[in-house]
Structure 1
Amino acid sequence: SLKDEYSLMKDLFPDIKGYYNRMNLGFAGGNNLGLEIATGEFIYFLNNDTLLPNDANNEILAMLEVFALDSRVGGISPKIMYYHPKGMIQFAGCTPLTSITLRNKQIGYREPDRGQYNNCAEIPYLHGAAMLVPNRIIKEIGVMSELFFLYYEELDWSCRIHKKYKLVYFADAYIFHKESASTGQDSPLKTFYLTRNRLLFAYRNRSGINRILAVFYLIGIANSIRLIKFVFSGMWKHVGAVCSGTWSGIKLFSKKNLS
């Protein structure tokens, strides 16, 4: 049975504000629901499997100072560390996605933290596990698109913010992410949403010949290669997930889904 976990938390922490919803609205939908009751000048989006460090208050104040010093900053992500193994980086910034193949590099990924990424830098995308965004920016740009449901929604949102504002990796603040650093086997559900949402992201965030080439690459090359790998591995549920994800993505290609 579904538990009203918010009521249980409210009993323990009477000052918190929240909402219990029986429906799974996905990553964007859940965050957007929270935005309806959030009243702060700044909103710190954190995954439910993250932990703040002991000095979080001072680190957040330091991030707020970045916004105070530069009104062109539209969002900040801190350094993200794996909870286990200790001392391993998950995110210390990123490079832009390529125009056609939609590939990029997550800086510091799976590297031990030796202080090599302790400089703040402008980045093209925020990390969905930890994003600090001024409420005024959200009101201007709009909330995350709920079309994606799972994966790529924060990239899509970052693209919209980055058209007008700078995004920053802030090295002097960090969180711990309990997501495993091991490369476990993806589920068919994950394969479906990644397949579908890459296509949707390409359609919404590329235009002209780049959109055509990106969609052609994803369907004709990237998805075909994945299908061949899954067939030879006998992973038939993943084969079906790639096919259904591709078709579901194509069905979302319409003018109304461009904004």
Structure 2
Amino acid sequence: MNSMSHPRVSFITVNFNGARDTINLLRTIFDHIRSFCFEVIVIDNASNENEFQVIKKQYPLIKGEYLSENLGFAGGNNRGLEMAIGDYLYFINNDTLLPTDADAQIRSMISFCDANPKVGGLSPKILYHTPRNLIQFAGSTSLTPITIRNKQIGYREMDLGQYDQILQIPYFHGAAMFVPKTVIDYVGKMPTCYFLYYEELDWSNSITQYFQLFYFPKAQVVHLESASTGMDSPLKMFYITRNRVIFSYRQRKCSLRVLSLSYLILMAFPIHLCLLLFKLKFKQSMAMMKGIWSACRWIMIESR
């Protein structure tokens, strides 16, 4: 990284009690990126200890800071965005790794964006670390108007090259988002009302009002999250429930908003809650009820 040159890419990652993962990500950035100037920004989102200093001791060229308050996914990334001076911002989860040919891959992303002014951003092909070559993300379908459901293309399929075509998509994958700085200057930062989950979907909707998003399989990242990781932790259940309602309120209008909120609160969630109780998943059941209540309180405050 040449600090005397203007960076083409600002890598931004948010750390929360994950210094080891973050250091592994930085190793792949500093080892593999050679042909263009870049900067790396690490935001420590109020880890139990100041891990930013631990990381900076190993990689002194990084920028960033330790936050005394956890600002959530969007808040942490927005803080990094405020420090960034690159032409492109690469928001990337700290538990990901870049491949050995990342330099050429990212140059391809830059070239694609430079050649197409309507590009609002790219998400690469995302593969699970375990098992190898299992796809996590190869694009996505649109969220349905009422149920707020969609499908990730290629999810849990082996990568056999079947999703190697560039595809216009409605939403980023939050683990890896490559965005021209000019797009962010035009659209604005990520919404901070979600804290965790759904913020990249909301932000994608803002961007696609003016630009186009693409799945870009010529670039890849490996996600250290295992495909066998439990999907229904109480924390995740709370935020997925809460934020699905908030997203519906923010992104649906008039009668469609009423239909969507009614479906979620009066049908989808009660059915899911009964299933959780039947399976004796009491912590998840409580988290879901708290999520519904939190979302309703948020809507009442917003609608005043």
Fold similarity call, TM over 0.5: yes
Q: Which residue of 1 aligns with 2:83?
A: 37
After alignment, is 203-212 or 239-248 more displaced?
A: 239-248
The reply to whether residue 239 of structure 1 matches residue 296 of structure 2 is no
2:165 to 109, 112, 119: 119
Tell me the equivalent position of 2:117.
71
2:267 to 200, 214, 221: 221
Specify the code of the residue in structure 1 equivalent to 2:129: Y
Q: Which residue of 2 aligns with 1:206?
A: 252
| Structure 2 residue 208 is the aligned partner of structure 1 residue 159 | no
1:40-189 correspondence runs (5 A): 40-189=86-235
| Structure 1 contact 2–22 (Cα < 8 Å) conserved | no
- How far the C-alpha of 1:67 sits from its partner, in A, is 1.1
Question: Which residue of the other structure, out of 240, 243, 247, is the alignment partner of 1:197?
Answer: 243
* Counterpart for residue 14 of structure 1: 60
Which stretch shows the higher mean deviation, 3-12 or 44-53?
3-12
Give distance in 1, aligned partners of 2:62 and 2:237.
36
Cα pair 1:74 1:162 within 8 Å, conserved:
yes
Q: State the TM-score, normalized to the length of structure 1.
A: 0.95
> How far, CA to CA, are the matches of 1:54 and 1:152 in structure 2?
30
Alignment partner, residue 5 of structure 1: 51
Evaluate the alpha carbon distance shift between residue 159 and residue 60 of structure 1 in structure 2; reply closer, same or farther with a 3 A threshold. same
The number of equivalent residue pairs is 257
Give the structure 2 partner of residue 249 of structure 1.
295
* Structure 1 pair 136–256 and aligned structure 2 pair: CA distance change class (3 A): farther
Question: Could you tell me how far apart the structure 2 residues matched to 1:34 and 1:147 are?
Answer: 17
Quick one: structure 1 residues 198 and 185, their matched pair in 2 at CA, closer, same or farther if it must change by over 3 Å? closer
Measure the CA separation in 2 of the matches of 1:65 and 1:185. Answer: 37
Deviations along 1:46-84, one digit per CA (max 9) or x if unpaired, are 001000011111111100111111101101000000011
Task: Using the TM superposition, give the Cα deviation of residue 255 of structure 1 relative to its aligned residue in structure 2, in angstroms.
Answer: 8.2
Deviation at 1:250, TM superposition (A): 1.3
Q: Secondary structure at the match of 1:19?
A: strand
Q: Which structure's relative contact order is higher, taking Cα pairs within 8 Å and 6+ residues apart?
A: 1
The runs of 5 or more residues in structure 1 that have no matched partner are none
Kindly report the root-mean-square deviation, in angstroms, between the aligned alpha carbons of the 2 structures. Answer: 1.4
Which 10-residue stretch deviates more, 176-185 or 29-38? 176-185
How far does residue 185 in structure 1 lie from its aligned partner after superposition? 5.0
Looking at structure 2, the residues matched to 124 and 169 of structure 1 have their Cα atoms a distance apart, in angstroms, of: 9
User: Which letter maps to 2:90?
Assistant: Y
Normalising by the residue count of structure 2, what TM-score does the alignment of the two structures yield?
0.82
What is the CA deviation profile of residues 7-65 of structure 1, one whole-angstrom value per residue up to 9, with x for unaligned ones? 12222222111111122111111101111111111100000100001111111110011
Give the drift of 1:175.
Answer: 0.2
- Cα-to-partner distance string for 1:163-193 (whole Å, 9 max, x where unaligned): 1110000010000001110152521111111
Task: For 2:151, give the aligned amino acid.
Answer: K
**C-alpha distance in 1, partners of 2:231/2:198?**
19
